[in-house]
Amino acid sequence: MANNILGIHHVTAIAGDPQKNLDFYSKILGLRLVKQTVNYDDPGTYHLYYGDETGSPGTILTFFPWPGAQRGRRGSGQVTVTSFSVPEKSFDYWMERFKNHKIDFEEPIGRLDEEAMTFFDPDGMVLELVSSPGTKERKVWKESPIPLEFAISGFNGVKITVEGYERTASLLTQTLGLTYDQERGNTFRYRAGKEGAGTIIDVECLPYSSRGRVAVGSVHHVAWRVAKDEDQKALREKLAELGYNVTPIIDRNYFHSIYFREPGGVLFEIATDLPGFGVDESPDKLGTKLQLPNWLEPNRARIEKSLPSLSLPK
């Protein structure tokens, strides 16, 4: 059972205006829009996927835009920071870019064996750029507006905030197969699989902290990777045996998913690497049209009418 988790598959968050979200992540950060579809549980809401050239697991940040909804509140029981990997010595470029586009950011700081810079998206979501050895060897989108020597190459990891970390740590290490790495103050770092995109989770322990509220500008859930359906099934059975209220396996068209809440209250998903984002679009056409699963296709006209129009990046 150990080491089935390969790293982060994707992170899903809540946005406000879908056009502002698209412009920020595609034009400012230089991520590729790899899929525009809808929330299968709420087809009147977009589900926008951003990532590298092919939508590799470990690079995907997705959003449900809720125009006009209230802002969320950061707190315990949440993913509180989402971190991207960038090459070493690229912070000068990003600081200049953020200044030119009036993006709020903080000065880079040294931390553990890496350097990190905090910044915020248009909805106040907390993001980081992290530079550490090995980042330059990862894949990037070659058509990105960002020069390749500075481009984002997937996730570095996430930070979750919980009131007590022991049971969360036990889940991560004994059930999901992550390994303890190091700690700093009240934050404990764990790693999944081999080095690569999205292998880090930092667990911040904040006793007696206020609970977070999921709404605009906050993360809805973090999804972890498994290679095969068989791995996911075995892991689901283990989680159920341990008393977790885990969902049945759900077909998300581009991957298969199960969901449960870890002991600190953060919503976890386990997602398969396959079938991937090429099942309904060729590599050169990813993200260019609204894609619907077969069971929603008969309702396309009604769904398209209910969604705000989007001006796609050229």
In a domain, 167, yes or no: yes
- Among all chains, which residue has been given the structure tokens 């709420």? 42
The total number of structural domains that make up the chain: 1
In a domain, 91, yes or no: yes
In a domain, 53, yes or no: yes
In a domain, 311, yes or no: no
In a domain, 289, yes or no: yes
Whether residue 38 contacts residue 291, with contact meaning beta carbons closer than 8 Å, is answered with no
Domain with 112 in it: 8-306
CATH number at residue 272: 3.10.180.10
Question: What is the full DSSP assignment across the chain?
Answer: -TT---SEEEEEEEES-HHHHHIIIIIIS--EEEEEEEETTEEEEEEEEEESSS--TTSEEEEEE-TTPPB-B--BSEEEEEEEEE-TT-HHHHHHHHHHTT--B---EEETTEEEEEEE-TT--EEEEEE-TTGGGS---TT-SS-TTT---SEEEEEEEES--HHHHHIIIIIS--EEEEEETTEEEEE-SSSSTT-EEEEEE-TTPPBPB-SBTSEEEEEEEESSHHHHHHHHHHHHHTT--PPPPEE-SSSEEEEEE-TTS-EEEEEES-S-TTSSS-GGGTTSSB---TTTGGGHHHHHHHSPP-----
Q: How far apart (Å, rounded) are the C-alpha atoms in residues 253 and 267?
A: 20
pLDDT profile of the chain (314 residues), mean per 10:
79 98 98 97 97 95 97 96 95 98 96 91 98 67 92 96 96 96 95 84 95 97 96 97 98 98 98 97 96 97 97 89
- Among all chains, which residue has been given the structure tokens 């530079």? 131
Provide the whole-model pTM.
0.96
Strands 109-111 and 179-184, how do they pair? unpaired
In a domain, 2, yes or no: no
Whether residue 285 contacts residue 31, with contact meaning beta carbons closer than 8 Å, is answered with no
Per-residue model confidence (pLDDT) at position 2: 45
CA-based end-to-end distance of the chain: 45
Q: How far apart (Å, rounded) are the C-alpha atoms in residues 256 and 273?
A: 8
Q: How far apart (Å, rounded) are the C-alpha atoms in residues 161 and 96?
A: 30
Strands 42-51 and 60-65, how do they pair? antiparallel
In a domain, 314, yes or no: no
In a domain, 312, yes or no: no
